[in-house]
Structure 1
């Protein structure tokens, strides 16, 4: 009997201990649940304050759950059950592109990040939206979901269009007087050489060089407008890329005296490209390197080949670029904002044009940098096959 009582007492103590353990676990769950609700509420308030729409597509059923602001963006009524067909029904010209991009992101589990136009159901007004989304983790064991956020970028798009229109109009208006000015300077240059007036000949040569630079700048402005319409023109010919390096070297030695520019030897490399446009890209890289690095520092220009590609790089010893800014550095009108750059002028179109030019050559462009550790801007082009260099 004593043994049974002892076992009963031990069992009772074990049950008391288990109940205490469960009580503490329940308290922890309640506390964690409370924190989770607080964080959810904080996230909801942040999304509302940022005027951000949220969406959650059940891939199996095709039903999309959205917040109130998302309904407002698309013009959906409060009681409408939104299907994927309803959502895509507001897209017109961008429908196929966004449909393909979404399914690619779902199929390959990559980030969906797109800008597109919608026509609101309520008033048929056109709005530009930017959406970012991803597919849910299958390890969660529930139906597959595609979820994310979106913002209204209509005002930003309108501002970009105004900038492009202004650039296009001003550039066209400036070309005629600049062409006339160049003609007068060339006449003066011809007369000074004929009369052997060396001083005037030297001055006019410098003036012609500056007029040419201004012409290049205006052409760049016009290219911005053309690139926005997908109409940037490339005059592709077969040539040795070494010629571009040499021309740019001569140009920078004349125009940049604040830095030591080191051009590494380049072997013959034939490419099928627009020579003037590649000069423009390389000059932009070098001018930026000089603009964003200390005086008397070094700038290295290299050209290497491998696996059927040629890479041209410009490395500086400047302030560097943060990872955040690197993601947007080639976007139109984007400029790095900070205390170190507030006194540096620019329009935010140079690198955008460089990317458009290299993309037009089926090439690649990029930057390697760290904040405070200098930057290396590079572009790559396919080397022209022999069959394309013999004409």
Structure 2
């Protein structure tokens, strides 16, 4: 070992250590280099020269980064001497010139400075343990850049981010999310607080959607009104999120984003207020027109005027269609404004289906509707609205099938739910359209559907009615081979 080697130190062991190590004297401010191992020579690119006896500040030219790094290192070394305790620098930039190249490569290090004491307990030497963390720092920078880009993209889109620790209930908000909820800087927000800030009529729905997303490992997406915690104006928010799990499959936190949709909701409300007004205004003349047509039809029948009777029957059919259309618009308006209330009772679904099949048979000719007997189990739902769903699905099946083709409706028990299926052998639906078929005003556009009347609200109404019943609705279809629409309802407890 060199002349300045610490007494009792096993030089052979020191030089075989797998990580870079260097020992310096505690002769601040010089810090004379006593010895260093082979790994230090390798990472410092100093194999061609002997550093022993020189100051550790003389290893490399004093450029801007070296001056800043040396200042940090000098502070750490002096602190070890003063306290006799180790000091760690977790992230230190110190650029080391490569061999045969005077241009330093950007390098990042983690350094730990340990005291080596003499017999009197004084710090005589310091051992520096060094770890190259350049790759980790590079990945960290890339991640920070990606996060910055994501944050800018979210800001541009008006999105606000959030994360929730499911163990502590503490929520972390982005700046824009914090403003949305009226939370002061530094103030801690919790899940119970957030739930309480949601308007009362939306709380249960949102809580159930979040819990279902956790239980089924899926994403939730809900729209609701929040009352900011600072007493600010209530806002409509659309929030999406999903849970993340540990190795045991336990949900540990949730993350997602939210969007202020208040202006959009106000615009929709104005639109639906207009639709409601127009629909109500149309109902009165339609009712009067229907009455006159019925009187004229009765007179034509008495006078045996067959031409007039047929014409009036066709006119009556068009009035019925117009009435259904007006009522559909009214139902959409009520759904969107949340004014539809469910009158849930326990009833046998089989009885309702038979009733609606018979009702449809009077107006839909040339179609064979086959009813498979349903289990005699009572469901708990709004009988009238579920009747609308059944009529809608059967009417849809007939519209998109050729005359004479069979339409099948059946039920099956699925635990606490009853599942209803309506199958046809019609034109079918492409996979790309199936995910949108229940959207408001969406219609499948192709050569076969252009001649079929409709404005794309029937299936939307069905989906909203079923959603309000806490059921599910879906479709399975193969183009050219038909479709199977289904929905579920809770059984009566």
TM-score greater than 0.5 by the shorter chain: yes
Equivalent residues in 2 for 1:303-322, closer than 5 Å: 303-307=409-413, 309=418, 311-315=420-424, 317-318=426-427, 320-322=429-431
Following TM superposition, the consecutive aligned residue runs of length 4 or more in structure 1 with deviations greater than 6 angstroms are 140-143, 233-238, 268-276, 337-345, 359-363, 370-373, 381-384
SS in 2 for 1:75: coil
Tell me the CA shift for residue 96 of structure 1: 4.7
Please state how far the C-alpha of 1:382 moved relative to its aligned partner.
Answer: 8.2
Q: How many residues align?
A: 360
Residue 200, structure 1, aligned to residue 308, structure 2? yes
**Matches of 2:421 and 2:213 in 1, distance apart?**
36
Higher normalized contact order (CA 8 Å, seq sep 6+, divided by chain length): 1
Give distance in 1, aligned partners of 2:411 and 2:197: 48
Q: 1:346 to 1:81 in 2, by over 3 A?
A: farther
Shift of the 48–316 alpha-carbon distance from structure 1 to 2, 3 Å rule, reads farther
- Distance in 1 between residues matched to 2:249 and 2:294, nearest whole Å: 76
Distance change (3 Å), C-alpha of 1:46 and 1:312: same
1:148-159 equivalence runs, <5 A = 148-159=256-267
1:41 corresponds to 2:148: yes
Residues 232 and 123 of structure 1: CA distance in aligned 2, closer, same or farther (over 3 Å)? closer
Matched, 1:230 2:340: yes
Structure 1 pair 136–362 and aligned structure 2 pair: CA distance change class (3 A): closer
Unaligned runs of 5+ in 1: 1-10, 255-260, 385-391
Q: CA offset at residue 190 of structure 1?
A: 0.9
Which structure carries more strand by proportion? 2
The residue number in structure 1 matching 2:189 is: 83
Task: Measure how far apart 1:224 and its partner are.
Answer: 3.0
1:335 aligns with 2:442: yes
1:66 is aligned to 2:173: yes
How far does residue 91 in structure 1 lie from its aligned partner after superposition? 3.7
Q: Give the one of 251, 272, 283 matched to 2:363.
A: 251
Structure number having the greater helix percentage: 1
Deviation at 1:279, TM superposition (A): 6.1
Calculate the TM-score normalised by the size of structure 2: 0.58
Greater Cα radius of gyration, structure 1 or 2:
2
2:458 is aligned with 1:350: yes
Distance 2:267 2:453 in 1: 20
Tell me what 1:241 maps to: 353
Tell me, yes or no, if structure 1 residue 93 matches structure 2 residue 200. yes
Which shifted more, 42-51 or 363-372? 363-372
Q: Which secondary structure does the structure 1 equivalent of 2:422 belong to?
A: strand
Once the two structures are TM-superposed, the CA of residue 235 in structure 1 deviates from its matched residue by 10
- Hey, what's the Cα distance between the residues in 1 that align with 2:249 and 2:412? 46
Confirm or deny: 8 A CA contact 2:374 2:410 kept in the other structure. Answer: no
Residues 237 and 260 in structure 2, CA contact (< 8 A), matched pair in contact too:
yes
TM-score w.r.t. the length of structure 1 is 0.70
Three-state SS of the structure 2 residue aligned to 1:114 is: strand
Q: Distance in 2 between matches of 1:281 and 1:98?
A: 22
Q: 2:241 aligns with which of 133, 136, 140?
A: 133
Displacement of 1:193 = 0.9
CA RMSD of aligned residues (A): 4.8
- Counterpart of 1:302 in structure 2 is 408
Q: Are residues 1:104 and 2:192 paired?
A: no
Deviation at 1:151, TM superposition (A): 0.9
Question: Using the alignment, how far apart are the partners of 1:199 and 1:102 within structure 2?
Answer: 58
2:60 paired residue number: none
Question: Aligned equivalents of 1:92 and 1:304: distance in 2?
Answer: 39
2 CA distance for matches of 1:87 and 1:231?
26
TM-superposed CA distance for 1:102, in Å, is 7.9
